[in-house]
Structure 1
């Protein structure tokens, strides 16, 4: 039951939508809809066109986790759509860790030096996960002006990849 992580595109949009919306709406009661997230239906244009990416973790051909990267300047990018199905979270599978490492390796190979993310305070486990991975919380005012802020986000983090 080892996860396989691959780059995914539009042909996986339905599976991505099912995974993301069920976690956002059912598990965390975040008032967000598919209409609020048109990127999920056009992964190729939204993520890859700017130099970012979108990865999926699969176990037995089932999509159990996602992570995406939006490049918003030549050396800066934002993490988006980091979701892992509840029953596949934790150290037993390490899916979130493997997804994040895949994304960070991509950043290093593509000269992206600064990673940012926005999330919401209710996602405390996610925040602890990012902090264990050396992300530092920053004020919204400290974000680069070109960072694509999502309306629901109220906590922001930064990771400097180039020491």
Structure 2
């Protein structure tokens, strides 16, 4: 039986292995992206990559271990990039609300930290992700509208922005 006692915590040193073991199989098996943990150095340097400036990183966990993640990368000028949002397949959907909880945590932190805009990139075929982001106020933007400091990923072809409320 799946334990529904889900917690959202700030990343802490020692979480790396659980994060990698959740993210890489999703990228490779579900999304068909031929990538390894070694090709994502941010996953082994979360503190120095994400937890600087207005940035941060959170994990969703339960008795099963790490079941979700979300990162906020400070890119300067009151702007940030939403990165590494993943939820393990058994924990997706409204029943558990893991993605919603992760995003709410990130948005509350962004508000407290005075961010003005949050950008994200995704691929064209992740229709459920598009609906999720749009439902939560993200608007589609053209690639050329992204700030120069936005960390572009080669696989991303669809981009969104959320203008934070003041």
The TM-score normalised by the length of structure 2 is 0.94
Q: Look up the match of 1:40.
A: 43
| 1:25 aligned residue (28, 35, 55) | 28
| 2:66 aligned residue (57, 63, 66) | 63
1:10-159 aligned at under 5 Å gives the runs 10-60=13-63, 62-159=65-162
Structure 1 ranges of 4+ moved more than 6 A: none
Q: How many residues align?
A: 163
Instruction: Judge conservation of contact 2:52–2:74 (CA < 8 Å) in 1.
Output: no
- In the alignment, structure 1 segments of 5+ residues that lack a partner are none
SS class of match (2:153): coil
1:8 aligned onto 2:11: yes
CA distance, structure 2, for counterparts of residue 56 and residue 162 of structure 1: 24
SS class of match (2:14): helix
The offset of 1:61, in angstroms, is: 5.3
Most deviating of 59-68 and 16-25: 59-68
RMSD of equivalent CA atoms: 1.2
The offset of 1:35, in angstroms, is: 2.5
The offset of 1:65, in angstroms, is: 0.5
Q: Deviations over 1:31-81 (max 9, x none)?
A: 222232100001101001233111001122511100000000141000000
The TM-score normalised by the length of structure 1 is 0.95
